[in-house]
Structure 1
């Protein structure tokens, strides 16, 4: 039986949601010819070497910090990934072509939709990395205006010291930073949490811990909260569909 190999590219990825998710999926669905492994690398420039050493590879997920820096190493991008400017899924075609996709936007969109009410018209996105770009794309597709919050100098971004009034004026706040991820569970973004209300959705892309300090503080002030687990599951399944086309 020929092996079908899939994997995750990133740095310091022992925690890997993807590996545990797909390994469990393969067992549950009796996919005995499939295997999912981590490719922990210091430099995304090693991507082609990893692929050449693993000829059974069919597809890869991409995580921090390579969702944007991987782009120059791909042969083509689908339209969504090109618009977002970040990739979290790579399909390795039979002819060796590496095609980049973004399934994060799909995962975020579909997991947010059930929470939305007519008054949810604007959002703040904490962070400016690849995941935040997918969130911005998703919000735009839902006709929700958004602005980034960043410590970096980015056109149109709000600084953290400008957030007092900004949080009051929006109805959705998305944490797309790693602040609060296990094991640093006592950390949270510096926000005026007292400005949250029952009109707010606080969404954290982090899934470990299940309830971050960001979510706890927002919930104390009445906000509806959601972590990133469903988004990860949805984007993983979308990746699976992409990898298995034309096999």
Structure 2
């Protein structure tokens, strides 16, 4: 059975999944540490998610990462949820426990905020933050922004009701009265000028749709920090637009690396070789990304 002996099988469940660089990153880490594990990508359609989780149990797979569109739905199929993931309401890492139970975690938010603070030196308590999107990634990021001292967050989403749902969840977590919502259509130049940190949390602009942007950034303040969690391509059309408006940009690679490193440590109990993982991903992105 997979999972016995020297090496275990780990992987990523998403739909679609062909664009992901997670297998490259994790397998490079295993090789660097001399571990016999393997990491594979599994394209799982939404209606097959329950069967896919059952397969983890049957095959003895050591754990999987979970990406769009499964981060919220997968919770119902697990045995246990980490407290942080429970608050966020989304899981991106599932670990098979020694007794065979499947436990869900969320490393997205922590990975993102670690990267943001390290690369931009932003002062979260004084920042006026615009969060674009209201899905699983936005939830994780929002919770960790509040955990690290953010005081003022506005959530903008194409569907206003989903933004309002996330607003309630963040307010329940923090008790902050300074969380607001609006639709993307309401974001005009005047409103954009109110923000000092803009964070894009949707897959818009991800390879192969690399020319797409979530909105126009005309009207932002000079030196606004604009962050995109999309890492493929590394320099998205959204970030190029931000640069043309005089913004400070924060690329998605840092979040991808740190959330992956945190997941690696959950899977193996070992410290992740982050520089090895980064080198492998950057080299692939420079070659044009995953084809």
The residue that corresponds to 1:59 in the other structure is: 63
Bigger helix share = 2
Deviation at 1:50, TM superposition (A): 1.9
Whether 2:54 is the aligned partner of 1:36: answer: no
SS in 2 for 1:139: helix
- C-alpha separation in 1, matches of 2:66 and 2:110: 15
Q: Is the 8 A contact 1:149 1:160 kept in 2?
A: yes
5+ unaligned residues in a row in structure 1: which ranges? Answer: none
Structure 1 residue corresponding to 2:196, chosen from 166, 171, 175? 171
Indicate the larger mover: 109-118 or 69-78.
109-118
**Bigger mean CA deviation after superposition, 63-72 or 133-142:** 133-142
Segments of structure 2 that go 5 or more residues without pairing to the other structure are: 165-179, 271-291
Task: Return the structure number with greater relative CO, CA threshold 8 A, min gap 6.
Answer: 2
| Residue matched to 2:206 | 181
Question: Residue 150 of structure 1 aligns with which residue?
Answer: 157
Alignment of 1:15-94 (within 5 A): 15-31=19-35, 33-42=36-45, 43-55=48-60, 57-94=61-98
Q: Helix, strand or coil: the match of 1:112? A: helix
Q: Is the CA contact 1:47–1:73 (under 8 Å) kept in the aligned structure 2?
A: no
Q: CA deviation at 1:53?
A: 4.0
CA distance in 2, matches of 1:48, 1:64: 15
The TM-score with structure 2 as length reference comes to 0.79
Runs of 4+ in 1 over 6 A off after TM superposition: none
Structure 1 residue 118 displacement after superposition: 4.1
Counting only pairs closer than 5 Å after superposition, residues 82-121 of structure 1 correspond to structure 2 as 82-114=86-118, 115-118=120-123, 120-121=126-127
* Conservation of the 8 A alpha-carbon contact between 2:195 and 2:220: no
Q: Choose 166-175 or 110-119, whichever is displaced more.
A: 110-119
Q: Which residue of 2 aligns with 1:136?
A: 142
Give the distance between the partners of 1:99 and 1:146, measured in 2 at CA.
Answer: 30
Between the two proteins, the alignment pairs up a number of residues equal to: 243
Alignment map for 1:2-13 (pairs within 5 Å) = 2-13=6-17
Distance apart, 1:213 and its partner CA: 1.0
Change (3 A) 1:36 1:149: same
Return 40-49 or 237-246, whichever deviates more. Answer: 237-246
